Amino acid sequence: MSIKPTLINMKTIDARGKSCPVPLIMTKKGVAEAAADESLVVLLDNETSAGNVTRFLQDHGMEVHTQREGSTITLTVPRGGAIPEQTDPAAWCTPDPAGTTNYMITIKQNTLGRGNDDLGQLLIKGFINTLPDIDHKPHTIAFLNAGIFLTLHDSPVLEALKKLEVSGIKILVCGTCLDFYQCKDSMAVGVVSNMYDILDAMTKAGKVIAP
Amino acid sequence: MTRCILVFASTHQVMKAEKVLQEAGVRHEIIPTPKELSNDCGMSIRLSGAAKENTDTTEILTAHNIPFKLFERDTP
């Protein structure tokens, strides 16, 4: 489908090289600035942004045509529209798929949740034993307080943790806690870490899961 | 690698079975019951090896009156 000939008055937004939410913000600004008879062209260089911007425009009642040429994705909006001033474009960002791997887990007790301890122990075993089988694994798992008992040689989840460690996942074990519970010698997986290492990993992670 | 998944009627039965296996020194893993085996969100016990390699274990559970269903699974 060729739509080029009719585009006499058009406003072009070049959002190539930008990542979300910048292309959305630029698009919102472009829509607001475009004259009534002006069509809008948005240039992008990745599918994630193209998908987000398309949804953003369509959700505000605009028609969007997509063309791909080389690495450039061109979105053409034949007729402009209106996007309310208070709309936050960032809400149309889909999370970066790579972000699903930038996460860590902290285990702060040897049970999962509060309630019956036997049940809690069963649940934490099920949780950790499932980690080697999931697609998006954490990059780090930190064990603190009574969580460190899960890293000792008699741990019921030792096999799963060793498997995770071999696959490159960092296992951080709180040294203060090993010392307090006097079981430094029994640690069977991971590296002894202090609060600097653990806090550093936590602050750099895209998200921290604490079951 | 072939492994056995033992599925039980209730969480209490899983805990009972786990205790029995621990006391008998049987290596086992607690895992969430695979969705294709059961719709309830229960836990199961996984053993390495095929069913025929785990007859001692399954006999222990039967001797303790813990009913279960056994499924064999080939995993990488």
Q: What is the pLDDT of residues A147-171, one digit of tens each?
A: 999 999 999 999 999 999 998 899 9
Nearest chain B residue (CA) to A157: B29
Under an 8 A CB cutoff, do A123 and B31 touch? no
The domains of chain A are located at 4-94, 98-209
Model confidence over A49-98: pLDDT tens digits? 898 999 999 989 999 999 998 889 999 998 888 888 888 888 888 765 55
Is the confidence metric ipTM above 0.90 for this complex?
no
- What pTM does this model have? 0.63
Write out pLDDT tens, residues A15-30.
Answer: 988 877 889 999 999 9
Enumerate the domain spans of chain B.
Answer: 2-74
Phi then psi for residue A100, to 5 deg, are: -70, -15
Best probe of the B interface among A110, A112, A116, A125, by most B CBs < 10 A, is A125
- Please report the pLDDT score of residue A14 as a whole number: 93
pLDDT band at residue A2 under the 50/70/90 scheme: very low
Strands (E), chain B: 2-7, 29-32, 43-48, 69-74
Report yes or no: A199 at the B interface, CB cutoff 8 Å: no
The whole-number pLDDT of residue A71 equals 84
**What's the whole-number mean pLDDT along residues A136-156?**
94
CATH of domain A98-209: 3.40.1260.10
What residues of A are in contact with residue B8 (Cβ under 8 Å)?
A: none
Q: Any idea what the Cα angle at residue A161 is, between residues A157 and A162, rounded to 5°?
A: 115
Find chain A residues with C-beta within 8 A of B30's C-beta: 122, 125-126, 129, 156
Indicate whether A188 pLDDT > 70: yes
Cis check: omega of the bond before A21, within 30 degrees of 0 = yes
A160 vs B contacts (CB less than 8 Å): 29
Confidence at residue A95, expressed as pLDDT on a 0 to 100 scale = 61
> Which has more confidence, B42 or A8?
B42
Q: Which superfamily is assigned to A4-94 in CATH?
A: TusA-like domain (3.30.110.40)
Strand partners, A139: none
User: What class is the B2-74 domain?
Assistant: alpha beta
Tokens at B10, concatenated: 């209730």
What stretches of chain A adopt beta strand conformation (E)?
10-14, 39-44, 65-69, 72-77, 103-107, 140-143, 170-174, 191-193, 207-209
